Chains A and B, each alone.
Chain A
Amino acid sequence: DQQVKQNSPSLSVQEGRISILNCDYTNSMFDYFLWYKKYPAEGPTFLISISSIKDKNEDGRFTVFLNKSAKHLSLHIVPSQPGDSAVYFCAASRLDTGGFKTIFGAGTRLFVKA
């Protein structure tokens, strides 16, 4: 039961170009979405989030877009830098019995080529 899917296991982008990472979800009750970045041998670190009442949130080079009707969110990185090479996880959160429930996608590995 994969409620949060990241269908691209990997993505390769040239430095300076745009990176677009995609995430789809199946449960319309999710109302908060997050992106995490993970380097090898480290834990995930929070990158950016968006509430379901918005369709866009921007933080520097990172922008998250939410399309609720399509149950789809995307992370745009512009311009991409070699230091952005990492695994990116999307996560979706909703209120459930017993508290908030968060489901993580399997991750997309981004390679930014210099």
Chain B
Amino acid sequence: NAGVTQTPKFRILKIGQSMTLQCTQDMNHNYMYWYRQDPGMGLKLIYYSVGAGITDKGEVPNGYNVSRSTTEDFPLRLELAAPSQTSVYFCASSPHERQTYGYTFGSGTRLTVV
């Protein structure tokens, strides 16, 4: 059981470049989330999805886009990368909207924009 898989683990982007962070879960969870973690800060919600075809903005959505064409996949797209997007990105999933037993997180993608 792989859980939540994120790729790549590390990436360096130049300012203005674009990339897609991949996230796949094999637990048939309806709810999926993208968070970013900056040094000394808590996790901030970027986007979330309550099921295939349904996505919505979180606290810090600017500069990002998402799609959810299948239950398993929830990619995060960065267009025109900026230094402010240097962060560690975590994808998470949950079977319920209320995280009664917590989210299942991926191992993260460390992104540096130079």
A residues near B (Cβ < 8 Å) are 2, 4, 9, 32, 34, 36, 41-47, 49, 89, 91, 93, 98-100, 102-107
**Chain B: minimal CB distance from A104 (Å):** 4
Contact size range, B:
20 to 34
Q: List, in ascending order, chain B residues with CB within 8 A of A47's CB.
A: 102
Contact A89 B97 (CB under 8 A): no
Contact B106 A49 (CB under 8 A): no
Interface class of chain A by DSSP:
strand
* The one of A43, A46, A93, A98 that contacts B107, using a Cβ cutoff of 8 Å: A43
Pick 28 A–B contacts, CB within 8 A, sort by A. Answer: A4-B42, A9-B40, A32-B100, A34-B102, A36-B102, A36-B105, A42-B108, A43-B4, A43-B92, A43-B105, A43-B106, A43-B107, A44-B103, A45-B105, A46-B99, A46-B104, A49-B101, A49-B102, A89-B43, A91-B99, A100-B97, A100-B99, A103-B42, A104-B42, A104-B44, A105-B42, A106-B41, A106-B42
Q: List, in ascending order, chain B residues with CB within 8 A of A105's CB.
A: 42
